[in-house]
Structure formats: structure tokens, C-alpha cells
Amino acid sequence: MNIIRTEALCESQKNDLLTLQNICQGHDSISLTFPMEEGWVYYLLYDEDCLLSALSAFFNENSEWECCAFTLPQKRHQGCFTLLFEELLKETGESDLIFSVQESCQDTISALEAIGAAFWYQEHMMNLSFSDFSGSELAKGEHIPESISIPPRGSSLCPEGKFTLSERQSFQDEPVHYVFLAGDKAVGSCYLDSRENSSYFYGFEIPEDLRNQGYGRACLSLLLNTFFTRSGTGKEETLFLQVSGQNVPAMALYKKAGFQITESLSYYIY
């Protein structure tokens, strides 16, 4: 067997990785993909022309190594991943190594536990359709403090003129930055990145001094009512987001809006 370390994959290596990825996805019922971007270092374990196992790592801004690994199902529990992991350890020093895994792949979880990696936290992908939102608490305006007025569906301005949604976009293909205003004061913000038949919701933030006062519920209700009732394809689109399982208040708020968990990733730290 031969271990190859590279920071620039050739076309044949990319094809081998795609083949390995597809085999593992089918066997483990997962959707994780192997990163093939600049800035990653790759360790490839070959037996002649057959790629048995692959490990990639990226040194991020938090001084952590983000890691991803795939091994042929028939070659698992034979030390293939361990060989590559030991090579990676030679250059990672004392930095933390972070692995993401889907719960359906018990082989990966077993391999991580075998090397001494510990469970860290979960991250969830959540989706929201118009039908799920229309029957939710936030669509009905339930549990919104009386001091915060929520506009009727299809409007971004409440009757009293106190609560508005400002849309800011520099270029057409860039994410839209939304700012929630109570009068002239910004009380929250978020981003929407439009994709085909869906939009990615992220960066939702309420200023620290305004939290736990109902602004999060009010702002999210305003955004979702606007999103799903705008002219065009709003009702046909799906909104999706990612949220840490450690963020209990956010998880509770998104569930009140009708968001459903569609996929969960577990993170392990070494």
C-alpha cells in the first residue's frame, strides 16, 4: 500500500475520490461530500490503482483542523484510516481536529471513538415550506409581545408604522441583507441567499441588549410573512438554515415558525 500526500489533486485522483465518495454515500445512506477545494491537504491510501481510504484536512481561522475521511466499506476495521490519521498528526501539532459525521454512518463514529475523538455538538439543517409556516405559531402572531406590532401578511410595515423591514443588496447575485427597524432603530438583521427554488437564511441576529424581549420572534415573523407572500414564487420556495444543537433558544424559535429538521451532523473533536 502507498500513501500519497498532496495539496493539489490531479484529475485521476479527483475521479478516484468521487468514486470512493459515491460508494460510501450509497453504503452508508449519507449526503456528505469530500472537499476538493484549494487550501486542503489530502492523504490518499492506494493499493496499486485502487483508492482504499482518503483523509483531508483544512486549517481554519479558529486554528482548528477541519477533517473529512472516507474508506471503502470492505476495507474498514483494517487500519486504513488509522494509517492516514497518523500521517496527519505529524503536521497538526497541538491543534484540535474536528470531524463531521452523519449518525447513519456508525462505522465512522466507531473509527473516531477508537482514535479517542470525543463528541462535541450537533448541527441541524432545517427546512421551511409555505404550508408548514402557514399553520405555525409565528404565522398566527401567537406569543408576540403586545408592545411589538406585527404587520399583516404581504406587508413589510405595521399599521402604526413602528416596525419595518429594510432590504439591502449591492448586486443582483449577492445575498440580500435585511435590517429590522423599530422606528429608526435597528433591532435585528439577517441574510437571505437565493438558490433555485429555495433560499438560505443565515446571520440572524438581535442586539444583545434587546434579547429576551420578543424581538427575535417579531423579526422572524415579519421576515417569513414577507418572504412567503411576496409577488412571484414565494409560496413555491423553501427556506433552509443551519443551526447548532447547542443554541436551544434558536432551535425553539425555528420550530415555532414551522421549520423541520431534515439532516443532522455530529461533530467530534480530537
SS3 call for 89: helix
pTM for this prediction: 0.72
Query: Where do the CATH 3.40.630.30 domains begin and end in the chain?
Result: 2-116, 125-264
Q: What is the mean pLDDT of the chain?
A: 87
Share of the chain above pLDDT 70, in %: 88
Q: Which CATH entry fits the domain spanning 125-264: 2.40.50.100, 3.40.50.150, 3.40.50.620, 3.40.630.30?
A: 3.40.630.30
Q: Which long-range contacts (CB under 8 A, 24 or more apart) does 3-11 make?
A: 3/43, 3/44, 3/45, 3/46, 3/83, 3/84, 3/87, 4/42, 4/43, 4/44, 4/46, 5/41, 5/42, 5/43, 5/44, 5/87, 6/41, 6/42, 6/44, 7/40, 7/41, 7/42, 9/36, 9/42
pLDDT one-digit tens code per residue, 167-193: 876 667 788 899 998 877 888 999 999
The CA–CA distances, whole Å, from 105 to 18, 34, 45, 86, 120 equal: 18, 15, 21, 22, 17
Distance (Å) of CA 147 to CA 27, 143, 213:
54, 12, 10
pLDDT > 90 in the chain, percent? 60
Instruction: State the Cα–Cα distance between residues 42 and 193, nearest whole angstrom.
Output: 30
Burial of 129 (0-12, 13-18, 19+ CB in 10 A): middle
**Res. 159: pLDDT tops 50:** no
- Exposed e or buried b for every residue in 151-170, given b needs 16+ CB within 10 A? beeeebebeeeebbbeeeee
Contact 163, 150 (CB under 8 A): yes
What average pLDDT score do residues 139-149 get?
A: 54
Query: Which grid coordinates belong to 24?
Result: 460510501
Q: Which residues contact 52 (CB under 8 A, 6 or more apart)?
A: 1, 45, 46, 71, 72, 75, 80
Amino acid at 199: S
The C-alpha cell 482504499 sits at 52
Record: fold of 2-116: Aminopeptidase (3.40.630)
The grid coordinates listed for 119 are: 463528541
The predicted structure's pLDDT at residue 83: 96
Eight-state DSSP code of residue 157: B
Q: Which residues contact 252 (CB under 8 A, 6 or more apart)?
A: none
pLDDT for 152: 44
pLDDT of residue 164: 80
CA 191 remoteness from chain centre = 14
